[in-house]
């Protein structure tokens, strides 16, 4: 039986992160990378968490990753999958897995970006299984 999908809550962009949420509304997934040490990080911030440089920039994320871990909130209304996804760019981010059979997910499954609209119309970066894990 098809079940309603959880609608993400609104994020609250700050001056530091407005560019991310604006790009997301246009279908682009940005990742923050440090120009000094070259590493991408999550969650995005001006200060590089690795080398403490302020010389960081937005780059276009691939929107590809693998499930690092997840849990299935089966008693929530509607149920949803909480997850950490390890991005192809390196860092691991908190997200939801959508368009999936929650009981068929496995850690290590490949996933791809699937924006979902929040209550207030923000594009929230969720992920869905790519390949065999995908539900019809």
Partner 1 sequence: MARPASAYIAGAYELPMRLYPDKSLAELQAEAMLGALADAGLERSDIDGFFCGPDAPGTGPLSIADYLNLKLRHVDTTNTSGSSYTIHVAHAAQAIAAGKCDVALITLAGRPRSEGRAKGALARTDNPQQPDFQWEHPFGLAVINVYGMTAMRHMHQYGTTSEQLAWVKVAASHHAQHNPHALFRDLVTVEEVANSPLVCDPLHRLDCCVVTDGGGALLVVRPEIARNLKRPLVRLIGSAEAPKGQNGGEFDITVSGAAQSGPAALAEAGVTCADIRYASLYDSFTITVLMQLEDLGFCAKGQGGAFVADGGLISGVGRLAVNTDGGGLCNNHPANRGGMTKVIEAVRQLRGEAHPAVQVPNLDLALVNAIGGQLAVRHASATLVLERE
Instruction: Write out the residues near partner 1 by the rule CB under 8 A.
Output: 6, 8-14, 16-17, 39-45, 48-50, 68-76, 80, 82-84, 87, 90-96, 102-103, 107-108, 118, 122, 124, 126
Q: How far is the CB of 29 from partner 1 (least distance, A)?
A: 13
Q: Output the smallest distance, CB 44 to partner 1, in A.
A: 8
Please enumerate, as own/partner, the contacts of 63-66 that have beta carbons within 8 Å and a separation of 24 or more.
63/29, 63/112, 63/113, 64/88, 64/110, 64/111, 64/112, 64/113, 64/130, 65/93, 65/110, 65/111, 65/112, 65/127, 66/108, 66/109, 66/110, 66/111
Q: How far is the CB of 77 from partner 1 (least distance, A)?
A: 9
CB closer to partner 1, 60 vs 71: 71
């Amino acid at each position: 039986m098809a079940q309603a999908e959880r609608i993400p809550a609104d994020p609250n962009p700050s001056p530091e992160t407005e560019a991310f949420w604006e790009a997301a509304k246009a279908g682009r997934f940005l990742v923050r990378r440090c120009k000094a040490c070259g590493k991408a990080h999550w969650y995005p911030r001006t200060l590089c968490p690795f080398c403490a440089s302020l010389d960081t920039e937005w780059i276009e994320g691939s929107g590809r990753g693998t499930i690092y871990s997840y849990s299935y909130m089966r008693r929530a209304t509607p149920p949803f999958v909480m997850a950490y996804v390890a991005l192809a760019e390196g860092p691991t981010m908190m997200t939801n897995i959508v368009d999936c059979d929650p009981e068929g997910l496995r850690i290590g499954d490949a996933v791809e970006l699937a924006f979902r609209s929040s209550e207030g119309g923000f594009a929230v970066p969720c992920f869905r299984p790519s390949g065999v894990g995908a539900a019809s």
